[in-house]
Structure 1
Amino acid sequence: MKRLPLAAVMAVFLAWLLWTVSVRQAALFAVGIGLGAVLAGQRFGFTTGWRMLIEEKDASGVFGQLLLLALAAALAMPLLGTFPELTAALGPPSVSLLIGAFVFGLCMQIADGCGSGTLYKAGMGIPMNAAILPMFALGSFVGSLHLGWWLELGRVPPVGLVSAWGWPVALGATLLALALIAVGVRWYVGRANARLQRATQPLWQRKWVVGAVLLAMLATANLVIAGQPWGVVYGFGLWAAKLANATGAVDLAQNWFWSQPGNAARLQETVLLDVTSITNIGILAGALWVAAAKPVSAKALTGTQWIVALVAGLVLGYSSRLAFGCNVGAMLSGISTGSIHGWIWVPLAFAGTIFGLRIRRRFGF
């Protein structure tokens, strides 16, 4: 589809949301379009950035993510400290978080995308990611069915730095931690490239910097409009849950996760009222709009690669629910709004990604 008719369809849908649903949902759809356009236009991939660091000793992608985290925290934490109606992306430190984050980091490299990566690449029409998306949704739903059992294995209450320390101290500690990580990453790539006798790539590249600035602004807009941080994977699980509920495949009224008041209410409402779902739809639209100008080519996969990718997508969704989010919901939104679980998620997911890259190489992705 060409850009002009696509833009017209998006504008009509936006107007329809504004007229029949709510101003908030229409605004979130517009934010989602922006997120999708930035992710696809700048190819701002969380999965790619980690892979570049490990395989190519190129820190520009990780530095872009650190900049994003710093900017998002600088914008979000004062808002959270000033307006109590806004909520942080809090998740409980738990056994499920430890296992889920590690497995997620492993599978996202095989599937070539985290939650947002899978979404925007599916919107761009990349066949593997388009096929993985429904598997991701199914896995997230199955994970939600089992989450109560996983939490019984051990958990502690969520910890929010903004509420515990106040936003100035929380922000200062967050920025200091991010700066220390940046120093460590810079030292690592410098030493690794010296050992390999090659030049270190520039730490700052335009596409990562522009992407970080725009994503931080859009994530903040999402926080203000929705009243909660940007998330991705909840929408996937909700889509599968509504399908299962409509067909009577599972009795969700008896499930620990879906019997929670907020989740039970969303099952009965139109998906267009869910803030995560409407943003996800916008991301798909924004990525499609970018791809309309310059279609992307994708590598053909073997039968074995298809099977491995689809299984990875299923497990990716399952582990994302156990870990209370992906690179967006757990890492970006968690850290930028002061949740301790975001800081726990990152090193475990990064450890998982090291093993995931080995599997990725084994199957020739």
Structure 2
Amino acid sequence: MNTLASSSIAAPGEPAAPSRATPAVPAVASSAWQRRLPLSLAIAALFGWLLWSVSARQALLLLVGVGLGATLAAARFGFTTGWRVLVEKRDPSGVYGQIVLLGLLAALSMPIVSHYAETTAALGPLSVSLLVGAFVFGLCMQVADGCGSGTLYKAGLGVPLNMAVLPMFVLGSFVGSVQLNDWLALGALPAVGLVQRWGMGGALAATLAGLVVVTWIIGRWSGQPFNVRRIPRRWLWGALALAVFAALNLFIAGQPWGIVYGFGLWGAKAATALGVFDPTANAFWSDPGHAERLRETLLLDVTSITNIGILAGALWVAAGRQQTAKSLSGTQWLIGLVAGFLLGYSSRLAFGCNVGAMVSGISTGSVHGWVWVPLAFAGTLVGLRVRRRFF
């Protein structure tokens, strides 16, 4: 590009040479695809190996994860950014995009949960841990510049802070799972599922009505009522693609799209392998279902395989782009890493992040998702102050 740019600048007294920028576009596109080719072959090879050696379900879920990661990265569909721009600039475009995602996904997911007994909703108990975890998560996602999905896809894009936050998120999720039962002992009510209580029609009507009310409140506060024509296309096509892939995840895996459990499992496996953790002595990991996943390969865990796919999908998008990163001070790195640990810890207490609690919770009719949102948003208001102070 520098050669082309310099060749279009005329010497003094000479007429300007015709611009050659246009012919360079195909070359740039070709170069991007060349950089993506090795990763594409690696993804295809992993898909084939999973299909042959593990199961068709896991192979398909890998592709679902790749689609989720590529969509998140290409559309820059950031839940954290959408909330931050709403508060700081009173621009609701990103949040409107998230509301579109919730409405579309609810319309796809609730019929699946209602008609297929083998599928489950993303239910979480109404607990003290939910209240604390959602608030802390909302605070820390602004400091670490990413929620669960944001950390994954930005790590795949090669953003240094998010790459460093990811292992801290894993560690925090593991520690949170170890201590979850102690938090639940502080007080918890049973999970409430709208589909189970009101049926698919009633649950979907109530969910869409709730989203309309939230949209109206945001429009009144921001001074920008909902108008689909004013929402940037990346938020709209991103919402549509994410809704389709998340619904496919529910149909294929039998459970909604999640992220946090996979992180906790990675941490538990690492701690067990190092001999620093005895899962049989812990209430969470001695549960038969969790103990079985801990014994099995990660490639059999549905959340882990989609997480791997998200990283691969984001990395595929990054391979065709030139990435820039802002340098950080030592203090900023330290704060970011602490925030990453607390992201993992708090998301486990809250039974999910923006994906597991908000997107999957609300779209499958879990009341805990509706509780999570205002508490996480309150935490975001505090987190933005911390972000402005240190970043």
TM-score range, shorter chain: over 0.9
**1:269 corresponds to 2:296:** yes
Equivalent-residue separation in structure 1 for 2:237 and 2:229 (angstroms):
15
1:344 maps to what in 2?
Answer: 371
**What is the Cα deviation at residue 295 of structure 1?**
2.8
How many residues in Structure 1 have an aligned counterpart in Structure 2?
357
- Name 1:197's counterpart in structure 2: none
Show the counterpart of 1:286: 313
Counterpart of 2:254 in structure 1: which amino acid?
A: G
Provide the C-alpha distance between the structure 2 equivalents of 1:295 and 1:130, rounded to a whole number of angstroms: 17
Matched, 1:206 2:233: yes
Within the alignment, does 1:162 sit opposite 2:195 as a pair? Answer: yes
State TM-score, norm by structure 2: 0.90
> In the alignment, residue 122 of structure 2 is paired with which amino acid?
A
The alignment's TM-score, normalised by the length of structure 1, stands at 0.96
Alignment map for 1:48-59 (pairs within 5 Å): 48-59=81-92
The offset of 1:203, in angstroms, is 4.5
Select the residue among 103, 117, 120 that pairs with 2:136: 103
Query: 123, 146, 154: which is aligned to 2:179?
Result: 146
**What CA RMSD, in Å, does the superposition of the two structures yield over aligned residues?**
1.4
The answer to whether the 8 Å contact 1:35/1:215 transfers is: yes
**More displaced stretch, 245-254 vs 100-109:** 245-254
Which structure 1 residue ranges, 5 or more long, are not aligned? 194-199
Q: 2:248: which partner in 1? A: 221
Structure 2 residue matching 1:91: 3-state secondary structure: coil
CA distance in 2, matches of 1:349, 1:107: 10
Picking from 351, 360, 376, the partner of 1:324 is 351
Q: Counterpart of 1:175?
A: 208
2:68 pairs with 1:35: yes
**Map 1:185-200 → 2, pairs under 5 A:** 185-190=218-223
1:5 CA displacement: 1.2
For the 8 Å contact 1:136–1:236, the answer to whether it is kept is yes
Contact 1:110 1:356 in 2 (8 A): yes
User: Any idea what the Cα deviations from partners look like across 1:285-318, whole Å, max 9, x if unmatched?
Assistant: 0000000001321111011000000000001100
Identity among equivalent pairs (%): 65
Please state whether the residue corresponding to 1:293 is helix, strand or coil: coil
Match of 1:333 among 360, 367, 377: 360
Find 2:57's aligned residue among 8, 24, 33: 24
Q: 1:308 aligns with which of 335, 352, 375?
A: 335
1:241 aligned partner, one-letter code: A
| More moved, 201-210 vs 2-11 | 201-210
Q: Check conservation: 1:63, 1:203, Cα contact below 8 A.
A: no
Contact preservation (8 Å) 1:60, 1:201 = no
Residue 70 (structure 1) aligned to one of 103, 114, 118? 103
Letter in 1 for 2:52: W
The structure, 1 or 2, with the larger RCO (C-alpha pairs under 8 Å, 6+ apart) is 1
Contact 1:59 1:201 in 2 (8 A): no
Greater shift, 161-170 or 247-256, is seen at 247-256
* Distance in structure 2 (CA, Å) of the matches to 1:256 and 1:208: 41
Match of 1:80 among 113, 116, 134: 113
Conserved 8 A contact 1:80-1:87: yes
Secondary structure in structure 1 of the residue aligned to 2:324: coil
Q: 1:253 aligns with which of 266, 280, 286?
A: 280
Amino acid at match of 2:298: V
Instruction: Work out the CA distance in 1 between the residues paired with 2:219 and 2:343.
Output: 29
Structure whose CA Rg is larger: 2
**3-state SS in 2 of match to 1:84:** coil
Q: State the secondary structure of the residue aligned to 1:2.
A: helix
State the alpha-carbon separation in 2 of the partners of residues 139 and 151 from structure 1.
17
Q: Which residue of 2 aligns with 1:92?
A: 125
Structure 2 SS opposite 1:166: helix
Say if 1:50 and 1:61, in contact at 8 Å, map to a contact too. Answer: yes
